Amino acid sequence: MDCQTLIRYLSDYIDNNLSDDLAAEAREHLATCRNCHVVLDSTQQTILLYRQRGQQQGLSPRRHATLYDQLAQALAARPPDECE
């Protein structure tokens, strides 16, 4: 399995939804590829943080509006060729 294939199957790997053969190939690749291992770890940590955060109250409407405005300003400031 190469990196691109692992990334394509990463969600199914994390959810234990791969066939035994594909899961074995993924584990073999992860054992030898530091970059993919970092991607896997980062993705799993993001999921964990999201789940923990989901147990807490969401953003206040004011904070949500502020973040949305900041994102809109950042996107508007980008040159047109970077938006594709």
How distant, in Å, are the alpha carbons of 1, 12, 36, 78 from that of 16?
17, 6, 17, 39
pLDDT in the model for residue 17: 95
How distant, in Å, are the alpha carbons of 6, 28, 42, 54, 70 from that of 20?
14, 12, 23, 32, 45
Average pLDDT, the chain: 84
Q: Which two tokens stand for residue 26?
A: 């993924």
pLDDT in the model for residue 57: 61
pLDDT in the model for residue 69: 82
pLDDT in the model for residue 24: 97
Cα 17 to Cα 13: distance, rounded to the nearest angstrom: 6
What residues in the chain have per-residue pLDDT under 70?
54-59, 78-84
Closest CA to 14 of 36, 37, 44, 34: 44
